[in-house]
Amino acid sequence: MSFGTAIALGFRHYSNFTGTASRSEFWWFQLFLVLVSIGVGAIEDGLNVVWAVATVVPYLAIGVRRLRDAGFSWRLLFLGLIPVLGTITMIVLWLQPSKADSA
């Protein structure tokens, strides 16, 4: 999946918490969110807060779909609330291959 396609799908399915998201879709979308966040933060800190609030639902939706694609429960997303260890755990879970790939 290309960078542009992943961004389009991420925003097209911004509130879709069902289905799956491939690793490439998930990571390209995450890269886009980080790059825009850095750019917006360089311009104005207040805009960075607006960007974060505007993208929280798409971020959570694609995270849930990625967990489901890897064969995990969406409830594991709550592990991300644990400082440091939760973030590391979520990255490891999101890096897992698709459930269909391992069959």
pLDDT at 28: 96
In sequence order, which ranges of 1-103 are alpha helices (DSSP H)? 3-12, 23-43, 45-69, 85-94
pLDDT in tens, the chain (103 residues): 899 999 999 999 989 999 999 999 999 999 999 999 999 989 988 898 999 999 999 999 999 999 999 999 999 999 999 999 999 999 999 999 998 755 4
Residue spans per domain, the chain: 3-94
pLDDT at 103: 45
42-64 burial, b at 16+ Cβ within 10 Å, e below that, comes to eeeeeebeebeeebeebebbbbb
Q: Are 89 and 79 in contact (CB under 8 A)?
A: yes
- Model pTM score: 0.86
pLDDT at 90: 95
